[in-house]
């Protein structure tokens, strides 16, 4: 159920990623309980938006510009991490191959990568890990190391890691990149299941096919600007998508999934 108060409230924000200006005057409100896909071609500012939310980059201070998360302009990073889970390829790259799959998920409780030797997980924590691994269909990989897993298994395991704290918001940043067809279908099935839970899902992607029917809202992002924002059924149509990607497209909806073919 959508909340009337935004968990993210951005108004007239300017931001830079190194020497590059990624946002000139960004205004965006995201509501709790409203699963949202942010769609745009490569270089549109999608990853920069994730960095802005996770406080890896900061907006330029100027009059009339605000960035509030859960109603606050200042928020401690440890509080942010407990309320917002982020799954990205960056996290995948930083996770060492030797860590066991169970410890990858368990480490989400501590905000670490891996488990410190001095830390002894409690029985209650281990049960939470086992429950999540089971829910995401990963029972067969619990004893394996991260390096032994396929790309699809790694992504779903990192989703389990992000969900271990029961975050209010889960951000999936380009979750299907590099996955083969079977792994991609398994991950999309997982995303559909998550969308039906209590956590609000934010999907960041350049692929229309990643957007499942449980996404209520779609935002088109291009060159650091929001060019369209509306209901999924309204925007995932041939004409608006063709304008976003500057190429003729035809969209097909079947079995709860969207597919795009050349127009």
Would you tell me how many other CB atoms lie within 10 Å of the CB of residue 112? 12
57-96 exposure pattern, b = at least 16 Cβ within 10 A, e = fewer: bebeeeeebebbbbeeeeeeeeebbeebbbbbbebbeebe
* Per-residue burial over 227-245, b = 16 or more CB atoms within 10 Å of its CB, e = otherwise: ebeeebeebbeeebbbebb
C-alpha dihedral, 138 to 90 to 174 to 169, nearest 10°: 70
Q: Is 257 exposed, middle or buried (0-12, 13-18, 19+ CB in 10 A)?
A: middle
20 exposed, middle or buried (CB, 10 Å; 0-12, 13-18, 19+)?
exposed
Report pLDDT for 1. Answer: 60
Tell me the torsion sign for CA atoms 243, 244, 249, 251: negative
The pLDDT profile of the chain, 263 residues, written as one tens digit per residue, is 666 789 999 999 999 998 999 999 999 999 999 999 999 999 999 999 999 999 889 999 999 999 999 999 887 777 788 899 999 888 899 999 999 998 899 888 888 877 766 666 777 888 888 888 888 888 888 789 999 999 999 999 999 999 998 999 999 999 999 999 999 999 999 999 999 999 999 999 999 999 999 999 999 999 999 999 999 999 999 999 999 999 999 999 998 899 999 98
pLDDT of the residue at 195: 96
Distance (Å, whole) CA 249 – CA 227: 18
Helix runs in the chain, H state only: 46-53, 77-83, 89-94, 101-107, 123-135, 151-163, 181-195, 232-235, 238-245
The bridge status of strand 225-231 relative to strand 217-222 is antiparallel
Say what the pLDDT of residue 112 is: 80
Q: What does the H/E/C string look like for 164-185?
A: CCCCCEEEEECCCCCCCHHHHH
pLDDT at 130: 87
């Amino acid at each position: 159920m959508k909340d009337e108060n935004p968990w993210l409230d951005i108004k007239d924000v300017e931001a830079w990623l190194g020497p590059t200006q990624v946002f000139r005057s960004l205004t965006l409100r995201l509501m709790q309980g409203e699963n949202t896909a942010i769609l745009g071609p490569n270089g549109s500012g999608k990853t920069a938006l994730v960095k802005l939310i996770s406080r890896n980059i900061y907006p330029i201070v100027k009059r009339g510009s605000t960035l509030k998360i859960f109603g606050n302009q200042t928020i401690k990073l440890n509080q942010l991490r407990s309320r917002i889970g982020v799954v990205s390829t960056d996290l995948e790259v930083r996770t060492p191959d030797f860590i066991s799959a169970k410890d990858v998920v368990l480490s989400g409780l501590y905000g670490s990568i891996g488990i410190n030797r001095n830390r002894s997980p409690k029985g209650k924590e281990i049960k939470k890990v086992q429950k999540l691994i089971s829910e995401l269909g990963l029972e067969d990989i619990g004893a394996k190391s991260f390096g032994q897993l396929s790309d699809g298994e790694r992504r779903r395991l990192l989703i389990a890691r992000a969900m271990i704290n029961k975050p209010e918001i889960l951000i999936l940043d380009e979750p299907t990149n590099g996955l083969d067809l079977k792994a991609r279908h398994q991950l999309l099935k997982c995303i559909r299941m998550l969308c039906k839970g209590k956590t609000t899902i934010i999907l960041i992607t350049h692929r229309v096919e990643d957007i499942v029917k449980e996404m209520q809202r779609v935002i088109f992002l291009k060159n650091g600007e929001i060019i369209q924002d509306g209901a999924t059924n309204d925007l995932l149509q041939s004409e608006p998508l063709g304008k976003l990607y500057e190429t003729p497209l035809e969209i097909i909806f079947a079995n709860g999934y969207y597919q795009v073919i050349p127009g």
